Amino acid sequence: MITAVDHVQLAAPPGSEDRLRAYYVDVLGMTEIPKPHVLAARGGCWFQAGVVQLHLGIEAAPAGGGKCHCRPAKKAHPGLRVEDIDTYAARLEAHGAAVTWDDNLPGYRRFYSEDPVGNRLEFLEPGR
C-alpha cells in the first residue's frame, strides 16, 4: 500500500549545482538538505519545504564518454501546492523566472515555471 510520495527527482546537467541552489533556496524558499554521504559523491542537491522534497540528480555523460544527454522534463513535472499564489508568482518573476498561468484545472489557480536547467514545475493553490 502506498502511503505518501517521499520525494520527486529531477535531472540536471553536471556542474549546475550552484544555479540549482540559487533557484531552489533563494527563489523558491526551500532549504537544502544534506545528501547521504554515499550519494553525495554523485553530485546534485536535495531540497525540502515542509514535507515536500525535491532531489536534483546529476545526469552524467554516457558510459564510454561522450556528451551528457540530460534533457529537462518539459511535460513531466512536480505539482507544488503554494499559499498566496499571486504573491508567490510575483516572487518568481522578481527573480527573473517566467510564469505562465493556466486556468484549465477546475477548482485550482495554477501556473508553470522552469528551474534554471529547464525542468518544468507546476505551482497550484485550491480556488477560493
Q: How far is CA 67 from CA 29, 45, 70, 103, in A?
A: 32, 21, 9, 39
Strand 120-126 to strand 108-114: parallel, antiparallel, or no bridges (unpaired)? antiparallel
Torsion angles phi and psi, residue 88, rounded to 5 = -65, -40
For 1-28, how does the pLDDT look when each residue is reduced to its tens digit (9 = 90+)?
877 889 999 999 999 999 999 999 999 9
Query: How close are the terminal C-alpha atoms of the chain, in Å?
Result: 33
Domain 8-60+72-126 in CATH 1.10.3720.10? The answer is no
For 97-122, how does the pLDDT look when each residue is reduced to its tens digit (9 = 90+)?
999 999 999 999 999 999 999 999 99
Cell 534533457 locates to: 71
**Boundaries of every domain in the chain:** 8-60+72-126
d(CA 17, CA 21): 6
For 64-92, how does the pLDDT look when each residue is reduced to its tens digit (9 = 90+)?
665 656 677 678 899 999 999 999 999 99
**pLDDT value of position 17:** 96
Query: How much is the mean pLDDT over the chain?
Result: 91
